[in-house]
Chains A and B, each alone.
Chain A
Amino acid sequence: MRMAEVKQVSKNFGARQNLVRALNNISFKIERGEFVGVMGPSGAGKTTLLNVMSTIDQPTMGRVYLAGQEITTLPERDLAEFRRNNIGFIFQDFNLLPALSVRENLVMILSMLRLPADQVEQRLAYFSERLNLAELMSRYPNELSMGQKQRVAAARALMTRPQIVFADEPTGSLDSKSATELLQYLATINLEDETTIMMVTHDAFTASYCNRIIFIKDGALYSEVVRSGSRRQFFHQIIDMQAAIGGGNLSDFKNRL
């Protein structure tokens, strides 16, 4: 079943002499249950692609389908509802709400979905066990470590049981131990719950947890690498492709395994 489809999408910023083409007629598909990585050099348009696919930004041209729905024509109010029901976000800088405790950060969006209280408790118990959050529930974001914050952010993204999770450099602010833990959580959830994940990263080690990597350069699709063997082999494939585009080396993997 197809979860996402990007059809001939272009995105421009500025005008005339200052025109920057961030995405250039890009097209690809993501199937349900896939863990897709998006890689490319700085300025390739990775985050712009994620923003356009996740309804955060509008494309200049082209169409985007998510969960069978064309999102590029939806009005703002319907988009908000669509995001709430279908999309989960994990950001590099966590974006937890500082005024809310961990529990409230997790529960708040469920209150908007009017989920019954017993179901909320079930989900809280499930994700707090999965992401090891039970001890943190009454704490506030400023009392958490970076790794704990990102685990809470991941739990928040998954609490609504979204059709697809968009992660923008989720390990960018984490140390290697916390990053590895988070990636293992995401890989497990992807495998066991069949949650579709699309992750933007510039890091080959992080990308090696995906099933498929889409490489983009100058806003256009450059290549695609699909995992077939071990994670180490997949990592080498990614490094090779990064070398072909420019950037990335083998020591990344050796140092972090």
Chain B
Amino acid sequence: MSTLEIKDLHVSIDTEQGTKEILKGVSLTIRTGETHAIMGPNGSGKSTLASTIAGHPRYNVTSGTITLDGEDVLAMTVDERARAGLFLAMQYPVEVPGVSMTNFLRTAKTAIDGEAPKLRTWTKDVKAAMAQLRIDADFTQRNVNEGFSGGEKKRVEILQLELFKPKFAILDETDSGLDVDALKVVSEGVNRAHAEGNMGTLLITHYTRILRYIKPEFVHVFVDGQVVEEGGPELADRLEEEGYDRYATGAGAATIAAASAAAQA
């Protein structure tokens, strides 16, 4: 059983107009076996949270903590975080020239496990995982994400999730840009990884449709860098019907305050 704990996290970025605070005090605790959904309108800071956990250099943590089983995640380099068991499925996976998928997957697996995977079982595992995600076998010969379609890139992210077996998976809008079939395939992959029982999942999404396939126990609504409402799966259903309008600034700060109060109550 592992715990990923985020406490009063404040994060800013440097822009041409100066420093801008994006996360304004976020607290969240995820345990092995749990699935949390973070939902919110564009620009609310959802992806910033994901990238900050992974250690993207663009984001400056000004205060607050992130710990994994008590270890200070913020003190770790990006690669150390991955080796500690954090996995970020990226919203925009990067194309890496010159590195074949085969080479990449094996190198990453070796780095994460601290030893090279046994060649025979590894090759078999990769093949099987690819087949389940309906990724063509010839993708292993291609360079990482190079020339892949949006949907293919997302499947390859989930392929890595299944192969690397992290303690916590953070899925950053993995559902965006996917058609229904691809969404099902990707969701099945996440559910398979989750079903092994050793992973906690933080699912970040703008839409509710992925929640038909991946069932969260906890739903957190993000607005303007803060969690404004928290609840169970029924909160997602409500968002599906009502959208994010009731959190809009036009509706007044009172609504948000009320929602926060309700969440804390």
- State whether these chains interact: no
- A residues within 8 Å of B by Cβ? none
- B residues within 8 Å of A by Cβ? none
